[in-house]
Amino acid sequence: MDIADLLSADRVLLDVDVSCSKQAFRVVADVAAATVGLDKRAVMDALQERERLGTTGVGDGISIPHARFEGLGKACGFFVRLRSSIDMDALDNKSVDLMFVLLAPQDANADHLKALSRIARVMRSPDNQRVLRQNGDKNVILAVLTSEDT
């Protein structure tokens, strides 16, 4: 599964001003409701529940929250760059300022795991991180995130 299949410019959110993961998830839930028709409350609850199971903060200021939904036709992603970093109990104890939220159909087992792996690989690149943190053009961000798609 290519990141280009998951993400579009309207789901690239830059300089989001929040102070905690709950607020960040609320922003994503609002956009998910508007762009893919998911219930806001269901998105928030699922992301918070996943975070309670264990951190999605993978290190280097990056978090990859994810959840599955019954009735979702295909996986979708949301890139979120936070104005200020937030604590998400990341594996390296660093605050998070870059998030890629993945919402997947309930039965998307292998595709879900492949997508998570690809997202992590792209976001862990120091060169990509530099652009993701500094560039203000959603289309440039989208190009960086989809640069390794085949």
Q: Which residues are catalytic?
A: 66
The helix (H) or strand (E) run that includes residue 102 is strand 96-105
Backbone angles phi, psi at 67, to 5 degrees: -155, 160
In contact, 128 and 81? CB cutoff 8 Å? no
Alpha helices in the chain (DSSP H): 21-36, 40-53, 109-124, 126-134, 138-145
Do residues 77 and 102 lie in contact, with contact meaning Cβ atoms separated by under 8 Å? yes
Among 1, 11, 18, 30, residue whose Cα is nearest residue 100: 11
Q: How far does Cα 104 stand from its chain's mean position?
A: 12
CB 43 within 8 A of CB 29: yes
